[in-house]
Amino acid sequence: MCELFGFNGNKKRQLNTELKEFYSHAWEHPNGWGLALFDGSNAEIFKESVNALKSNYLHQKLSETICARNAIAHIRLATIGNEEFHNSHPFAGTDISGRKWTLAHNGTIFESNVLNPYVHIQKGSTDSERILLHIINRINYDTERFGHTLNAEERFRIIDHIVIENSPKNKLNLLIYDGELMYVHCNCRYSLYMKNSDDGIIFSTKPLSPQGWTAAPFTRLSAFCDGKEVMSGTLHGIEYIPDQESIKALFLAYSGL
């Protein structure tokens, strides 16, 4: 479907080697690429709806030194939504407190009543963008309900609830950054790995080097800050197991056949 890359560090790290290896997988994921680099709450997002291996823009970017303390990257194999700019990950949005949220998704939402209303307001047509819109809507709702800007624990509880309510029957591998925390969720086996180093943690759908990789936390949300896991959510145990019939039906529905 897609592949994810993330870095959460305690200092800036040069990421060229890892990103070049990551984007080399685009021959299997040709429908777009994206890269978000974070400096505190500020984000630079670069993306296109073209194969990363054919992108002059990305080639030029990778020829420069890329350093970041937090980063999210994505290569897309389209399931829902055409090959167009507004369907390329990562997606970004700002809540009513001014906090910027950035999300990349590896997977497909087959069933989710809570995400359906966002079809009418999203810029693109992906199920992934709807996840971000739902997160921001829930953050805004609780911010107004509580009458204050939400702290890290309050934001984490909201994201934890969202991944639990949307995990049944859906592949929900997520990397999300809110300017302070990087949220990581995986509910499909052997589809997200992590590697620790002195300056932080790298996440990737597939290991990017021969050694040092372990499975990311499975069927529970985790939050990372400064290269360490700082919060752990509910162990919901809802595993996504690929169902070829459901995937075939989804492709037929979106192709109009």
* Cα–Cα distance measured from residue 13 to residue 176, given in angstroms and rounded to the nearest whole number: 19
Domain harbouring 200, CATH code = 3.60.20.10
Which tokens sit at 249? 């039906």
* Cα–Cα distance measured from residue 105 to residue 121, given in angstroms and rounded to the nearest whole number: 19
* pLDDT greater than 70 at residue 76: yes
* pLDDT greater than 90 at residue 254: no
Structural domain of 138: 2-255
């597939």: which residue's tokens?
206
pLDDT at residue 59, as a whole number? 96
* pLDDT greater than 80 at residue 199: yes
Full 3-state SS string of 102-136: EEEEECCCCCCCCCHHHHHCCCCCCHHHHHHHHHH
pLDDT tens digits, residue range 132-182? 999 999 999 999 999 999 999 999 999 999 999 999 999 999 999 999 999
Which tokens sit at 209? 């080097």
What mean pLDDT do residues 13-33 have? 93
pTM: 0.94
Q: What does the mean pLDDT of the chain come to?
A: 92
* pLDDT greater than 90 at residue 85: no
What mean pLDDT do residues 12-34 have? 93
Cβ atoms < 10 Å from Cβ of 248: 10
* Cα–Cα distance measured from residue 177 to residue 128, given in angstroms and rounded to the nearest whole number: 15
Strand partners, 215: 193
**How many domains, in total, are found in the chain?**
1
pLDDT at residue 256, as a whole number? 44
Share of the chain above pLDDT 90, in %: 80
